[in-house]
Amino acid sequence: MSIRFDDRVVIVTGAGHGLGRCHALEFARRGAKVVVNDLGGARDGTGASSAAAEAVVAEIEAQGGEAMANGANVADYAQVEAMVTETLDRWGRIDALVNNAGILRDKTFAKMDLADFRLVMDVHLMGSVNCTKAVWEHMRERQYGRIVMTSSSSGIYGNFGQTNYGAAKMGLVGFMNSLSLEGQKYGIRVNALAPIAATRMTEDIMTEDVLKLLDPASVTPAVVFLASEDAPTHQILAAGAGVFARIVIQETPGVFLDVGSRDADHVADSWKQIAATDGQQELQAGSEQTMKVLKKAAALGIKIG
C-alpha cells in the first residue's frame, strides 16, 4: 500500500451511502482522518438525518480509524463554512476534498419544473463550489491541496431525461478546468471523476447482474489516486467495473474562411472539413484556442497585430 494518507485529513461529501461511503472507508483504511459529510436526505434531496454519516464513522472507528460525522447541506455555504471550521478546530488541516454529494430529479426537459432544475444545479455544481471555496484559502496558505469533482457521462456525453444533472456535471468539468490552472502555483491539484457505479442514484435503471458488476468500490481507487500526493491535475478520469480511462476533450484543426467567405453558407459547405478529426488536439487552456486560430490565420498570410 504505497499510497498513504497518514496524518492527512480528507473531507468526503455525500459519504453516507454508495460511492461516498466507499471513498470514506478506503481513505480511512489508508490512514486518513475522514470527515464523513452527509445531509442524510433521500435520493431526490428531501429530508435529513445524521444516521447514515454516523454509521460510516462507526465502521471506520471499528477498524481503528478516525473520523467525524457532519450533516452540512453542501448547497448552504454557511453550513459548509461551519463544517470546515469544525474540521480545522479538531485536526488543524485539510489535505483533500472529494466533492461527491448529489441528488437526482430526472424528467424530460419539457416536463421538468425549473425548481427541480435549479435544485440539482445547487447541490451538484454550487455544492462543489461552496465546499471548494471554503477550503481554498486554507490550501493556498499551506501550499498543498487535492480536490476531486464528481462529474458524469451524463454531462460529458449527455443522457436522456437528465438535462439538469447533465448541465451540473458538465459545469463541474469547466470549474475543474479553470480551478486547476489557478491552483498550480499553490500546490493544489484539481481533477474530475466520471464514475460508472451502481448506487441508489442508479438502482432503478439497472438489472441485478449489472448492479453487481458496477460495485462502487471499483470506482474508489480512482478517487484515492486523484487525491494522493502524486496525483496529476486538470484531468478527467472515468472509472467503473474495473475499467479506468482518461477522458479527453479535443478540438479539430478547423478551417479558415476569409472575409469574403465568412458566412453561414460557407460554414455549411465546409462542415465536413470542419468536423474532420485528423490532426485534432487537446488544448490545456482557453488561451491556447485563441493562439491556435491566430496561428492558423497567420499561416495563410493574414497579418496579425
Domains of the chain: 9-247 (3.40.50.720), 259-299 (no CATH)
pLDDT for position 302: 66
pLDDT for position 5: 98
Distances 285 to 99, 128, 203, 271 between C-alpha atoms, Å: 23, 21, 37, 25
- Cell matching residue 104: 437526482
Per-residue pLDDT of the chain (305 residues), as tens digits, is: 799 999 999 999 999 999 999 999 999 999 999 999 999 866 656 666 789 999 999 999 999 999 999 999 999 999 999 999 999 999 999 999 999 999 999 999 999 999 999 999 999 999 999 999 999 999 999 999 999 999 999 999 999 999 999 999 999 999 999 999 999 999 999 999 999 987 555 566 566 777 778 899 999 999 999 999 999 999 999 999 999 999 999 999 999 999 999 999 999 999 999 999 999 999 999 999 998 888 877 877 666 65
The H-or-E segment that residue 114 falls in is: helix 114-121
* pTM exceeds 0.85: yes
Amino acid identity of 182? Answer: E
CA–CA–CA angle 186, 99, 66 (5° rounding): 90
Give the residue numbers annotated as catalytic, written as ranges.
165
pLDDT for position 211: 75
